[in-house]
Amino acid sequence: MKRKKNRTTGRKLFVVTAAALLAMTMASMLSGCGNQAAVDIQTESSDGLISVAFSEVGAESDWRVANSESMRTTFTEENGYEFYFEDAKGKQENQITTLRNYILQGVDYIVLAPVVETGWDEVLQEAKDAGIPVIVVDRMVDVEEEDLYTAWVGSDFKEEGDIAVEWLEEYLEEQGRADEEIQILHVMGTLGASSQLGRTEGLEEGVAVHDNWEIVAQLQGEYTQAKTYEVVSEYLAGSTDIDVIYCENDNSALGVIQALDEAGISYGTDGDVILISFDATTVGLTACLKGKINLDVECNPLHGPRVEQIILQIEAGETPQKLTYVDETYFTPDTLTEELIEERGY
Ligand code: GYE
């Protein structure tokens, strides 16, 4: 659907040119000496387009790349949007700077995929004061006042962890290993990110109710293949007594596979170590289909259309639902086919 160009609602986008910035700087310098210089700020209308400014975590994983792509393909000019994108390279301070720039630009909407949950109150207050709705996607923000953001859409990460624990329980039962000592190596994602917190909570709760399950170590894989490969290889050099590796995303699972291959340890459906992963991206599911990953819990990254729904509701004067959880499932080698992986498209 092509949006009307003569949009009258919403705020206009003001572009402060370099010349205007210089003029403003000179004006403030001169005003200190009692003079006033005329400041000529050039303004440009957004041509009826809705400006949507996105602050993305980074490009640490296949999930993340699919998420960025979903935003890009949703907020096109053809669909009526002017889209701004900034990659924070995994750093919250970069996101705060980006948000401040977006506020200064006076964009219509800010979309934030926060690296971590805490530390957002101040900048979100600034956005609120400027009257810019902030839509949070994927990970959550933990703020004092809930009205500092307009809406959130993402996954129930604790539920994802619970799914993994329940599956493991049943799998061990089927294998006649329900009463065996089970040593679990836990590879965590980015510390303080909702996805890490929820998936970790799910596992820790599961371990707490199984006397024979034990977490032998918690390593920081930071959701990347490279970091996970490094920390897991280091761990395996000291101990290989592991029954399960719980990796908090697919790219970490690839790092684990690389480290296990090098160490000559078998894994997956025909191996010694049970591999659990999250995301269900093409790379993860392909490894799962081959039996290398025993379980891949889905986490859907295609949030672009969901964010657009929220924006369209606000544009129509409606109040969007505060929290929207995406329905998710899980995959095992016996439930997967190549067609299914292809259809998913990420
Ligand atoms: O699982 C991981 C990504 O927060 C759900 O971040 C997201 C996680 C996802 O880097 O691959």
pLDDT of 44 reads 41
Q: Over the stretch 269-291, which tens digit does the pLDDT of each residue have?
A: 999 999 999 999 999 999 999 99
- Ligand 1 mean position, distance from CA 139 (Å): 8
Is residue 29 pLDDT above 50, yes or no?
no
Q: Over the stretch 180-223, which tens digit does the pLDDT of each residue have?
A: 999 999 999 999 999 999 999 999 999 999 999 999 999 999 99
Give the whole-number percent of the chain exceeding pLDDT 70.
Answer: 87
Is residue 50 pLDDT above 80, yes or no?
yes
Is residue 26 pLDDT above 90, yes or no?
no
State if residue 300 touches ligand 1 by the CB under 6 angstroms criterion.
no
State mean pLDDT over 174-179. Answer: 97
- Ligand 1 mean position, distance from CA 216 (Å): 23
* Amino acid identity for residue 338 in this structure: E
- Ligand 1 mean position, distance from CA 115 (Å): 10
- In this structure, of 7-11, 35-39, 44-48, 79-83, the range with the lowest mean pLDDT score is 35-39
* Amino acid identity for residue 253 in this structure: A
Is residue 11 pLDDT above 90, yes or no?
no
For atom 8 of ligand 1, which residue has the closest CA?
195
State if residue 63 touches ligand 1 by the CB under 6 angstroms criterion.
yes
Residue 62 φ/ψ, nearest 5 degrees: -65, -35
State mean pLDDT over 312-328. Answer: 98
Distance, in Å, from the CA atom of 67 to the CA atom of 301, rounded to the nearest integer, reads 5
Cβ distance 307 to 56 under 8 Å? no
Contacts of 103 (CB under 8 A, 6+ apart): 110, 126, 127, 130, 132
Distance in angstroms between the alpha carbons of the first and the last residue of the chain:
24
Is residue 152 pLDDT above 80, yes or no?
yes
Q: 22 falls in which pLDDT band (50, 70, 90)?
A: very low
Is residue 293 pLDDT above 80, yes or no?
yes
Is residue 34 pLDDT above 50, yes or no?
no
pLDDT of 345 reads 87
- pTM score of the predicted model: 0.87
State if residue 199 touches ligand 1 by the CB under 6 angstroms criterion.
no
Cβ distance 2 to 80 under 8 Å? yes
For residue 12, count CB atoms less than 10 angstroms from its CB and return exposed for 0-12, middle for 13-18, buried for 19 or more: middle
Q: What is the DSSP string of 105-153?
A: HT-SEEEE--SSSSS-HHHHHHHHHTT--EEEESS----SSGGGSSEEE
- Ligand 1 mean position, distance from CA 199 (Å): 11
- Ligand 1 mean position, distance from CA 42 (Å): 40
State if residue 182 touches ligand 1 by the CB under 6 angstroms criterion.
no
- Round the average pLDDT of the chain to a whole number and report it: 90
Distance, in Å, from the CA atom of 167 to the CA atom of 31, rounded to the nearest integer, reads 69
pLDDT of 74 reads 98
* Amino acid identity for residue 314 in this structure: I
Q: Over the stretch 92-150, which tens digit does the pLDDT of each residue have?
A: 999 999 999 999 999 999 999 999 999 999 999 999 999 999 999 999 999 999 999 99
- Tell me which of 62, 68, 138, 188 to substitute to probe ligand 1's pocket, judged by most ligand atoms within 8 Å of the beta carbon: 138
CA 343 vs. chain centroid, Å, equals 22
State if residue 156 touches ligand 1 by the CB under 6 angstroms criterion.
no
Q: 47 falls in which pLDDT band (50, 70, 90)?
A: confident
State if residue 346 touches ligand 1 by the CB under 6 angstroms criterion.
no
State mean pLDDT over 324-341. Answer: 97
Helices 62-74 and 250-263: angle between axes, nearest 10 degrees:
150
State if residue 149 touches ligand 1 by the CB under 6 angstroms criterion.
no
